[in-house]
Every structure is written in structure tokens, then in C-alpha cells.
Structure 1
Amino acid sequence: MTVDGSGTDGARDSDRDRVRYEQGMAVRREVLGDAHVDRAIARTDEVTADFQDLITRYAWGEIWSRPGLDRRTRSVITLAILATLHHDDELAMHVRAARRNGLDQAEISEVLLQVAIYAGVPAANRAFAIAQRVLREEKDA
């Protein structure tokens, strides 16, 4: 018997995990693009397999799949947090994702201006440089 008394067994949990993984992979591909996800999967080994499973099921299958916020809003939040925490590689990836989710350059700039006020000018300065590089690459492609 589970904590909630439902009697859920391991098989049902496994089915739920599989569904969450499949949903997460679909959302992950839609937001990040097939090329990015394929590269991440190709680099997966025994060291990173559990982590890849975790982020696919929980970040993408649970959080990004929730109905409470649309993907544009989730992108805005993600950009602000990543810029604030100086997670530069993830920020670059999510600038691309934000564009895929419908944000334009002006909206991305607005997010980073907000970061400047609430997280500091150095954080925003670094984030603007990353966004500028990614958006320039997008134009040149």
C-alpha cells in the first residue's frame, strides 16, 4: 500500500514514469529542437544516463508539460533565472528555445533588462552578451 493508500504497485509507477518520459521527450524536442536533443542523447553514457532520464521526466515531462503556464511564459522565467545564476551555456540554449517558443529579440531584451534591476547589472551584462551572440548566430544561419 502506498502512502496515499491507493495500492499503487511498481508496475503502475513504471508505466507512469514511461508516459512522463515520452511526454517529456516530446516537449523537450519541441522546445530545444531535435538536433540539440539528439546531441544530448548521443553523449549519454553510464555516468549521465540517470541524469538524462531525470531531466526528461521531471523538467520536461512534469514542469514544462504543466498546463498552468504557456511555453512563452516558461521561457521568460527560465531566461531570467539562468541569467541571474550565471548559467551561461544553459542560457544560450534557452535563448534559442525562447525564440522557438515565440519570443522575439525585443522581448528577450526586456527580460534581461528586468534581470539588470532585480539581479544586478553584471548578471544582465553577461546575459546580454550571450543573447547577442546567440541571436547573431541565428541571423547568420
Structure 2
Amino acid sequence: MNQHDHGMKVRREVLGDAHVDRATAEATDLTSDFQRFITEYAWGGIWTRPGLDRRSRSIVTLTALIARGHDEELAMHLRAALRNGLTRDEVKEVLLQTAVYCGVPDANTAFRIAQEVFAQEVFAQEAPGDE
């Protein structure tokens, strides 16, 4: 399996097929090289390294996204963190930790986003039909 294929496999496992399908379907001449780049470099080159498990990588990713104020990406990676096995209580602890090191306003925003994501996840689990 080449780096792109391996990256796509991990990207799908972490972010879910629906997100990856949407991102790749929306690729244009402008964004297709970027999609290939993040699939090969981030997902195939970094997320596949043996030094950290996916739970740990999710914790690092959440912290970095909060610190940089990347709220749209934060919502996506909160869902990924749950998919990677973090519990809601563990996510809460990560967010509390970021209040000290990233700042209270950033953690406040992260808690708001997490509450929205958690509510969406509960709704999705309760909704009948196929995923």
C-alpha cells in the first residue's frame, strides 16, 4: 500500500467516510493538490507513525487546534477523538487542561463547540436509518 492509500485508510478511520467523501468530492483544480498533500503527509506520514497511538494523537490535535483557534477543525477532531476512543470525560479533561495553557477564552469556546458536537453525536445515535 502506498502512502496515499495508507493515509486515506487512516483518514477514513479517524474522520469517517462521510467527511472524507465530502472533502474529496468537493475537491477542485485549486484544492485537489492540497487534498492529496494532507492525505499523504498528515494522514499517511504522521498519523501512521508508531510513536503515539490515535488517542494520544487526538489529544495533541485537540490542544493544538484550541491553541490556534481553529474552531471548524476542532469540531471535526472532537468527533474524531470520540471515534479514536476518548470518552467525553477525557475530552473534558483535555479542555480543562487547555484553559491553563491556551487560555480561558479559548477553552470556553472549545467547551461550547464540544457541547454542540456531543449533542449532534447523541442525535445521530438516536436517529433511525442508515449512517
Question: TM-score, structure 1 length as denominator?
Answer: 0.87
Gaps of 5+ in 1: 1-17
| Equivalent residue number for residue 62 of structure 2 | 79
Instruction: State whether structure 2 residue 102 is matched by structure 1 residue 119.
Output: yes
Q: How does 1:13-24 map to 2 (within 5 A)?
A: 19-24=2-7
| Equivalent residue number for residue 44 of structure 1 | 27
Instruction: State whether structure 2 residue 31 is matched by structure 1 residue 28.
Output: no
Alignment partners' CA distance in 1, 2:78 and 2:44: 20
| Equivalent residue number for residue 4 of structure 1 | none
Alignment partners' CA distance in 1, 2:16 and 2:117: 15
How far is 1:140 from its partner? 1.2
| Equivalent residue number for residue 9 of structure 1 | none
Identity across matched positions, percent: 61
Alignment partners' CA distance in 2, 1:76 and 1:38: 24
RMSD: 0.8
How far is 1:20 from its partner? 0.6
How many residues align? The count is 124
Instruction: State whether structure 2 residue 114 is matched by structure 1 residue 135.
Output: no
Gaps of 5+ in 2: 125-131
In structure 1, give the amino acid aligned to 2:90.
E
How far is 1:84 from its partner? 1.1
Query: Deviation digits for residues 84-131 of structure 1, max 9, x if unmatched?
Result: 111011000000000000001000010010100001000000011001
Alignment partners' CA distance in 2, 1:86 and 1:126: 9
Alignment partners' CA distance in 2, 1:74 and 1:45: 29
| Bigger-Rg structure (1/2) | 1
Query: Deviation digits for residues 18-72 of structure 1, max 9, x if unmatched?
Result: 8110000000000000000000001001000110000000000000000000000
Alignment partners' CA distance in 2, 1:80 and 1:37: 22
